[in-house]
């Protein structure tokens, strides 16, 4: 077995000072447009393979670059096209169409070289440029078209793109071509003697920034080793095009290269690298080695990438090692890339007792009240997931308006932790990368989604505390959603893109689906369920189907029609784990008897109490039907009637 390709090595963040200003975004000064700038990518199939949707399991690094950037500042537009050389990207009119879209303040990343060899005028792929960076030309007739053409050097075409971009007020950045999976004497073959060198020379001659992507990627490949690179980053029969993991490694190197450009307008928009660690000492007069001392209630800002959220009076004290405390709930945010993160938090106050519970993002419960006496501390760990709306092929999850305003914490580029309870107090916080941790993805409607406002609650936001620190829960459910709507909005695609072998997807739809008047609504629902189960399995995940809990009126008669039974039927036909929440919720409502009202906020939605009860039923279903997932359940006591 080849060795497993690890996630990027951890980068330790050592911050010497806490800046008070936010990172600047794109302004309208000097002719630049307001709002996010566009990062145009031009190149070949190593930048964008096929349609850009992972056709045949092949991916270009440009397809997975967006998650490295704050989408409020930079939008990646991948205009690369497979099979093109520095010459044919120009002669086929692709550059002209791209140039029409470029505005002042935009950035153009260009990477060519893989297709610049071969035939110049003959054959069915006449795409070669003249080797080098000179100004020599060669005239000829392209046999395929019968048209005369003057061919220039590889470097000349790059200089042409640079000059055109600069004339439009954009910033060009030249990249040397990513290496192929070719090795000699145990080392990767590099392009520093030809296309890599010529790309550098062209950039220097034309006054453009240069990133030696060939060297950055080659260093990573050499570190991983030939066997692992061949087995895990490329397909068995292709030495040029990467699979998704290979594209991600290459994109990480692109981001690292951009980060190294001191005067690049892209630097401020880059999110922290995937392996970055944060460690904070609250109120400490002198921070522990490797930790950042937080000595005042500084508001969150993108630079330095952490701080307190507004709305609470937080006191930071240096007594007994220091702590941040308040008489009301308070929140602290950290700027993070998309993914799973291990959080280690030390709670407790120097004087007096405290009872602190921890929630993340939109009231996602992670830790129940941790009670400490004056001077005592308690440390807890949990996994938490953050996400963005970016999809890998230039698409976005179609967010509802409330997801851009009141629910924005679920989709922004930061982790927000909320400390609540009786005089909540936190002494120390560590946020560490956990890229290899398994994830439980949730899909569903408002009865599953993280509800941002008290007293509304769902079982999806109460479920995380019932799992231990070996699994992260990523709640992609949204209020008002149907299963078909989740497919159409890209929510299912987002989950499938993030899904790794060994992950779990739990789906509960029906409350909104059953309202459809279409004659084929139920059959469409069934087809979409089957499609989801198949897609999850194709990616190595485990699907778990959940029937919708009954409404408050469901004690007298079923209100969800044939939808719960359809879920049961699909689960049986496809041998998928089933949690029959429809049946167990009806029994729960009967057991509550005259306390039923305390579980409901209205006829469909639940209170904190009701959501906790339903989360306990879901955990029971996990134990009965999904043993692999059940292995991650914690010993936290569930709420019972």
Which domains, from first to last, does the chain contain?
36-260 (3.40.50.1110), 275-435 (2.60.120.430), 438-641 (3.40.50.1110)
Which of 53-57, 316-320, 540-544 is predicted with the least confidence, judged by mean pLDDT?
Answer: 316-320
Side-chain half-sphere of 167: how many Cα atoms within 13 Å? 8
pTM above 0.95?
A: no
CA–CA gap between residue 555 and residue 543 (Å, rounded): 29
Phi/psi of residue 442, each to 5°?
-110, 135
What 3-state class would DSSP assign to 27?
coil
Residue given tokens 């963040």 in the structure block: 13
d(CA 91, CA 123): 17
Sign of CA dihedral 507, 248, 280, 411: negative
Quote the Cα angle for 351-355-360, to 5°: 120
Among residues 152, 241, 476, 606, the one annotated as catalytic is 241
Residue 317 CA to residue 352 CA, distance in Å, equals 13
pLDDT at 566 over 60: yes
Answer for the pair 407, 446: CB distance below 8 angstroms, yes or no.
Answer: no
Q: CB under 8 Å to 354, separation ≥6 — which residues?
A: 325, 347, 348, 371, 372, 421, 422, 423, 424, 425
Indicate the burial class of 16 (C-beta count within 10 angstroms; 0-12, 13-18, 19 or more). Answer: exposed
Share of the chain above pLDDT 90, in %: 81
Contact 425, 348 (CB under 8 A): yes
The DSSP result for 504-556, as a single string, is EEEEE--TTGGG---TTHHHHHHHHHHHHHHHHHHTT-EEEEEPPPPPGGGGT
Determine the pLDDT at residue 522. 97
350, β-bridge pairs = none
Q: What pLDDT was estimated at residue 24?
A: 34
Residue in 238, 320, 376, 558 annotated catalytic: 238
Which pLDDT score is estimated for 286? 80
Residue pointed to by tokens 């290496």: 179
| pLDDT higher than 60, residue 342 | yes
- Which residues on neighbouring strands pair with residue 380, listed in sequence order? 345
Task: Identify which has the larger pLDDT, 625 or 368.
Answer: 625
Q: What's the pLDDT at 200?
A: 98
Q: For the ranges 145-154, 188-197, 268-277, 452-461, which has the lowest average pLDDT?
A: 268-277
What per-residue string of b and e applies to 206-231 under the rule 16 or more CB within 10 Å gives b? Answer: bebbbbbbbbbbbebbbebbbebbbe
Contact partners, residue 401, CB within 8 Å, separation at least 6: none
**Which one, of 148, 152, 169, lies nearest residue 160 by Cα?**
152
Q: How much is the pLDDT for 14?
A: 27
Is the pLDDT score of 319 beyond 70? no
Q: Is 238 a catalytic residue?
A: yes
Of residues 45, 176, 458, 625, which has the active-site annotation? 45
Cα–Cα nearest to 340, from 260, 275, 391 = 275
* Pairwise pLDDT comparison (350 vs 110), residue with the higher score: 110
Report the half-sphere exposure of 264 (CA within 13 A, side-chain side).
25
What confidence category does residue 394 fall into, taking pLDDT thresholds of 50, 70 and 90?
confident
**Tokens representing 246?**
């290979």
- How is residue 8 written in tokens? 């990027």
How far out from the chain centre does Cα 93 lie? Answer: 34
Question: How wide is the angle at C-alpha 290 spanned by C-alphas 286 and 291, nearest 5°?
Answer: 55
Q: What is the mean pLDDT of residues 550-559?
A: 91
Residue 15 burial class via C-beta count within 10 angstroms: exposed 0-12, middle 13-18, buried 19 and up: middle
Checking if the pLDDT of 29 tops 50, the result is no
Mean pLDDT for the stretch of residues 416-440: 95
Distance CA 492, CA 525 (A): 14
Q: pLDDT tier at 51 (50, 70, 90 boundaries)? A: confident
CA-wise closest residue to 111 among 169, 167, 70, 65? 65
Q: Token digits for 233? A: 């980053």
pLDDT of residue 34: 58
What distance in Å separates the CA atoms of residue 320 and residue 158, rounded to the nearest whole number?
61
Across-strand partners of 211? Answer: 175
Helix (H) or strand (E) holding 618: helix 608-625
Radius of gyration of the chain measured on its C-alpha atoms:
27
pLDDT of residue 116: 96
Tokens of 230: 């061949």
Q: Is 241 a catalytic residue?
A: yes
194: annotated active-site residue: no
**Residue 89 · residue 41 · CB < 8 Å:** no
Q: Crossing angle, helix 213-224 and helix 244-259, to 10 degrees?
A: 130
Whether residue 22 is predicted with pLDDT greater than 70 in this model: the reply is: no
Each residue of 350-376: b (16+ CB within 10 Å) or e? beeebbbbbbbbbbbbbbbebebeeee
What's the CA gap between 419 and 590, in Å, rounded?
Answer: 35
Question: Cα–Cα distance between 481 and 496 in angstroms, integer?
Answer: 17
pLDDT computed for residue 321 by the predictor: 66
CA distances from 309 to 69, 138, 193, 358, 623 (A): 22, 63, 52, 15, 38
DSSP state of 458: -
**Angstrom distance (rounded) from CA 433 to CA 385:** 10
């Amino acid at each position: 077995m080849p060795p497993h390709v690890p996630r990027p090595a951890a980068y330790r963040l050592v911050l010497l000072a806490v800046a008070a200003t936010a990172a600047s975004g794109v302004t309208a000064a000097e002719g630049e447009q307001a709002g996010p700038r566009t990062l145009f990518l031009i190149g070949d199939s190593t930048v964008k393979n096929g349609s850009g949707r992972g056709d045949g399991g092949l991916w270009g690094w440009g397809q997975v670059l967006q998650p490295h950037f704050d989408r409020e500042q930079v939008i990646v537009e991948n205009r690369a096209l497979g099979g093109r050389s520095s010459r044919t990207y120009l002669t086929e009119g692709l550059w002209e169409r791209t140039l029409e879209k470029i505005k002042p303040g935009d950035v153009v990343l260009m990477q060519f070289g893989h297709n610049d060899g071969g035939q110049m005028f003959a054959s069915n792929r006449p795409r070669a440029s003249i080797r080098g960076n000179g100004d020599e030309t060669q005239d000829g007739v392209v046999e395929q078209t019968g048209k005369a053409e003057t061919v220039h050097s590889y470097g000349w075409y790059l200089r042409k793109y640079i000059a055109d971009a600069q004339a439009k007020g954009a910033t060009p950045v030249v990249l040397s071509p990513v290496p192929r999976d070719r090795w000699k004497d145990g080392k990767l073959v590099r392009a520093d003697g030809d296309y890599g060198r010529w790309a550098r020379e062209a950039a220097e001659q034309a006054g453009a920034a240069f990133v030696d992507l060939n060297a950055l990627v080659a260093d990573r490949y050499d570190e991983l080793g030939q066997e692992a690179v061949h087995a895990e980053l490329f397909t068995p029969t292709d030495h040029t095009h990467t699979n998704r993991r290979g594209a991600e490694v290459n994109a990480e190197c692109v981001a690292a290269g951009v980060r190294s450009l001191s005067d690049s307008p892209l630097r401020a928009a880059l999110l922290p690298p995937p392996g970055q660690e944060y460690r904070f000492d609250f109120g400490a007069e002198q921070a522990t080695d490797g930790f950042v001392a937080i000595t005042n209630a500084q508001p969150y800002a993108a630079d330095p990438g952490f701080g307190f959220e507004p709305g609470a009076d937080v006191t930071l004290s240096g007594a007994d090692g220091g702590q941040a405390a308040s008489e009301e709930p308070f929140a602290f945010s950290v700027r993070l890339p998309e993914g799973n993160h291990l959080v280690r938090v030390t709670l407790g106050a120097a004087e007096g007792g405290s009872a602190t519970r921890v929630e993340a993002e939109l009231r996602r419960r992670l830790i129940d009240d941790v009670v400490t006496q004056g001077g005592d501390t308690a440390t807890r760990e949990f996994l938490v997931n953050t996400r963005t709306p970016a999809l890998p092929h230039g698409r976005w999850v179609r967010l509802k308006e409330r997801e851009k305003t009141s629910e924005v914490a679920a989709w922004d580029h930061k982790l927000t932790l909320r400390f609540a309870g009786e005089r909540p107090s936190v002494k120390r916080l560590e946020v560490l990368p956990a890229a290899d941790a398994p994830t439980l993805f949730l899909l569903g409607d408002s009865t599953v989604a993280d509800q941002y406002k008290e007293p509304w609650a769902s079982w999806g936001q109460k479920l995380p505390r019932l799992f231990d620190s070996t699994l992260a829960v990523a709640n992609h459910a949204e209020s008002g959603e149907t299963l078909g709507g989740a497919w159409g909005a890209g929510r299912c695609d987002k989950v499938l893109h993030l899904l790794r072998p060994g992950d779990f997807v739990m789906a509960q739809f029906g409350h909104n689906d059953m309202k459809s008047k279409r004659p084929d609504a139920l059959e469409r629902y069934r087809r979409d369920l089957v499609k989801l189960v198949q897609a999850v399995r194709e990616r190595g995940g485990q699907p778990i189907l959940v029937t919708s809990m009954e409404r408050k009126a469901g004690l007298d008669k079923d209100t969800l029609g044939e939808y719960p039974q359809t879920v049961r039927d699909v689960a049986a036909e496809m041998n998928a784990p089933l949690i029959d929440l429809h049946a167990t919720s009806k029994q729960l409502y009967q057991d509550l008897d005259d306390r039923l009202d305390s579980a409901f906020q209205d006829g469909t939605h639940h209170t904190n109490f009701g959501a906790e009860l339903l989360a306990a039923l879901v955990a029971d279903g996990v134990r009965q039907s999904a043993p692999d997932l059940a292995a991650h359940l914690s010993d936290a006591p569930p709420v019972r009637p």
